[in-house]
Amino acid sequence: MLRQKYIFKECVFMNNNYFEKKDLGNFANGVLGEEAKKLWDEFLKYYGDSTSDGALTKREKALCALAVAFATRCPYCIDAYTQTLISMGVTEEQLTEVLHVASSMQAGITLVNGFTMKNTVSEIKL
């Protein structure tokens, strides 16, 4: 079984997901929208609107996006948002703190799902 890699090379597997760094550029260049331009354009508008300054700043939204990327294990998003946040002046210490926030949330989510197990055990014991 392949394990998560933290060194981005030209092509690696992360959590059994295929990752090619060059595809970040292909995504940015709209390759995935070639066969469905209208849907792609609508996605880009939604994405742009949702990541623009609003009640939260672009920086705050990018930090949230990185946390989601860690939690969902998306190597493309981790790479892209790490680059974006570094260009915004975010430090490695801050990026690492985002990683730990995502990790602790994931741990809490795993633990709270223990109630499903406990409730099932209680029902069986009845």
* Residue 6 maps to a domain: no
Total domains in the chain come to: 1
* Residue 2 maps to a domain: no
Alpha helices in the chain (DSSP H): 22-28, 37-51, 58-72, 75-87, 92-112, 114-125
* Residue 47 maps to a domain: yes
* Residue 3 maps to a domain: no
Burial per residue of 57-76, b for 16 or more beta-carbon CB atoms within 10 angstroms, e otherwise? eeeebbbbbbbbbbeeebbb
What CATH number is attached to the domain comprising 121?
1.20.1290.10
Q: Is 14 left (phi over 0), alpha (psi -120 to 50) or beta?
A: beta
pTM of this structure: 0.77
* Residue 82 maps to a domain: yes
* Residue 1 maps to a domain: no
pLDDT digit string (tens) for the chain, length 126 residues = 344 444 444 444 455 567 888 888 888 888 889 999 999 999 999 999 999 999 999 999 999 999 999 999 999 999 999 999 999 999 999 999 999 999 999 999 999 999 999 999 999 987
The parent domain of residue 51 ranges over: 11-125
